[in-house]
Structures are given as C-alpha cells and as structure tokens.
Amino acid sequence: MSVFSRRALKSLGLAAGLLCLAASGVIARPAAATYAPVGPETSVPFGWVDFCQRYASECREGDGGAREIEWTDAARRRIEKINAWVNRNIDPVSDRDHWGVVDEWDYPTDGKGDCEDYALLKRRMLIEDGFPSGALLLTVVKDEHGDGHSILTVRTDRGDYVLDNLTGGVKPWSSAPYRFVKRQSQASPNVWVSIGAPTSAPMYVSK
C-alpha cells in the first residue's frame, strides 16, 4: 500500500481547523466546455525538478492511456470528496516556516504544507483512485497581487476544472481568480506548457 494512501494519511491524526475549508462543495458546470489555452513548452519549475529527484516513481512518463476524465456524476463526486478531504485535513504553513527554505515541493505527510503540497497530494490520491495521471496537471498561477500559487487542473470532457486549497469546491478554470502561467503537459509530467499570453513566471509559489 502506498504511504500516501488515504488510510495511511488518516492514521496520522491530522489536525482540522484549516484556514481554507471547502465551502458548499457544489461544483459549477459551465454552459459549454472551456479549456485553458495552452501554448508551447516552457521552463519546468525547480520545485518539480527537485521533487522528482526524491520521488522518481512519481514523475514517470504516462502509459499513453486516457488523458481526459469523463465528467460523470460519479467522477465529479469522487473528485469533490478528495479535494474537500485534503483541504480539510492539511494545515496551511509556508515552506519557510515548515522547511526553512523558500520553496519546497513535497507530500504533506506530517499534516502540514503549502499550495503545491496540497496539489501534489490531491494528484496522488486521485491517481490511486483510478483517475489517469495525464488528466491531473499541476498548474502555476499568479494571484491578484502577482504572487505565485499552485493548483491542480483536472482535464475533463466538459472542460478544465481546478482544485484549489484557497477556495471551496471544484470550479471551471475560467472561474478561478488567477492569471494562469503554466502547467504540466498531458503527454508528460516532466514537460510544462505555457497558458495564455506570455508572462514571467513567479519565482516561487507559496500559498
């Protein structure tokens, strides 16, 4: 059994009382499928490169299988459940306070983490639940202040949805209050592609 399985994580006795609780859990559906406008290959975040040096098995190329999730009610409920569980059971803490460094991507096995740690755990749990890795894409955005932030994009046949530790529920990407910068390619987790008009990438992600 993976050390990052839900059963193992629950056994940690993680604290609740989170700043960013999932709200109503209602998932809004767009009138029509909308997808983030991905562009050419771009730089890979250092945090991901460093993460892959420690978790090589987590960064393997995909098996060439499905790269979209069929947006059924059952799939929606499973994704919503995992998103809410992670948001509820991980305490938010900055990398500087947690690890003593500016930027560190890791699994929140001690029940603490920042934005990319939430996204990594959601990705791992969704893969363990049977969803294709090619549809679960780590994504870097900028918030309204221009600060870096990480979320998980879920690619579906009804459009792109985002899982965010700062807001409740699962929302269409176009409803997220962010400037999208780049994300993993569907073809390979180690290839990143730009999103929308070119913009400088944040130095690090921190929320």
pLDDT on residue 60? 85
- Whether the per-residue pLDDT at 28 is higher than 70: the answer is no
- Could you tell me if 159 and 122 are in contact, meaning their C-beta atoms sit under 8 angstroms apart? no
Q: Phi/psi class of residue 196: alpha, beta or left (left: φ > 0; alpha: ψ in -120 to 50)?
A: left
**E strand intervals along 68-127:** 91-92, 112-113
Q: What angle do CA 106, 149, 92 make, to 5 degrees?
A: 55
The strand pair at 91-92 and 112-113 is best described as parallel
Under the banding of pLDDT at 50, 70 and 90, the label for residue 32 is low
pLDDT on residue 62? 67
- Whole-model pTM: value is 0.81
Q: What angle do CA 152, 132, 58 make, to 5 degrees?
A: 70
Is the pLDDT higher at 17 or at 52? Answer: 52
- Whether the per-residue pLDDT at 19 is higher than 70: the answer is no
- Cα 175 to Cα 35, 85, 158, 159, 169, distances in angstroms: 12, 22, 14, 12, 12
The model's pLDDT over 2-12, given as tens digits with 9 standing for 90+, comes to 444 544 444 43
Task: Give the count of alpha carbons within 13 A of 174, CB side only.
Answer: 12
- Whether the per-residue pLDDT at 20 is higher than 60: the answer is no
- Whether the per-residue pLDDT at 68 is higher than 80: the answer is yes
Instruction: Map residue 142 onto helix, strand or coil.
Output: strand
Instruction: Map residue 74 onto helix, strand or coil.
Output: helix
Share of the chain residues as helix, strand and coil, in percent rounded to the nearest 5: 30, 20, 50
Map tokens 């730009």 to a residue. Answer: 194
- Whether the per-residue pLDDT at 29 is higher than 70: the answer is no
Under the banding of pLDDT at 50, 70 and 90, the label for residue 63 is low
Q: Phi/psi class of residue 149: alpha, beta or left (left: φ > 0; alpha: ψ in -120 to 50)?
A: beta
Of the ranges 14-23, 52-61, 156-165, 188-197, which one carries the lowest mean pLDDT score? Answer: 14-23
Is the pLDDT higher at 135 or at 207? Answer: 135
Average pLDDT, the chain: 84
Task: Give the count of alpha carbons within 13 A of 58, CB side only.
Answer: 24
**Domains, the chain, with CATH or none:** 67-207 (3.10.620.30)
The model's pLDDT over 164-184, given as tens digits with 9 standing for 90+, comes to 999 888 999 999 999 999 999
